[in-house]
């Protein structure tokens, strides 16, 4: 099965673009393995966002920023 990765900057609120991303992820997961990759995921709000936007359980959410934010 082919994999599709959808990449976006932040997962921290239930906004319009997050709704679109989750909709596409759910639809694409019918034929493909789907992963969502974010530069930052707000761990305090993640479960609420997933529940509210009804993301399928088999879709993985990956955060690239495992540590503190840094300014270079």
Q: At 27, is the secondary structure helix, strand, or coil? A: helix
List of residues 6+ apart from 54 with CB closer than 8 A: 22, 26
Q: Which helix (H) or strand (E) covers residue 19, if one does?
A: helix 16-28
> Sorting pLDDT into bands at 50, 70 and 90, what band is 1?
confident
> Sorting pLDDT into bands at 50, 70 and 90, what band is 72?
very low
The pLDDT assigned to 67 comes to 62
pLDDT digits (tens, 9 = 90+) for 2-46: 999 999 999 999 999 999 999 999 999 999 999 999 999 998 999
HEC secondary structure over 33-62:
EEEEEEEEECHHHHHHHHHHCCCCCCCEEE
The pLDDT assigned to 8 comes to 94
Global confidence as pTM: 0.84
Q: What is the dihedral of CA 5, 8, 37, 23, to 10 degrees?
A: -60
């Amino acid at each position: 099965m082919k994999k599709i990765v959808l990449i976006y900057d932040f997962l921290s609120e239930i906004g319009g673009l997050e709704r679109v991303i989750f909709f596409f992820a759910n639809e694409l997961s019918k034929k493909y393995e789907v992963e969502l990759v974010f530069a930052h995921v707000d761990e305090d709000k993640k479960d609420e966002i997933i529940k509210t936007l009804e993301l399928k359980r088999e879709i993985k959410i990956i955060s690239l920023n495992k540590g503190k934010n840094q300014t270079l």
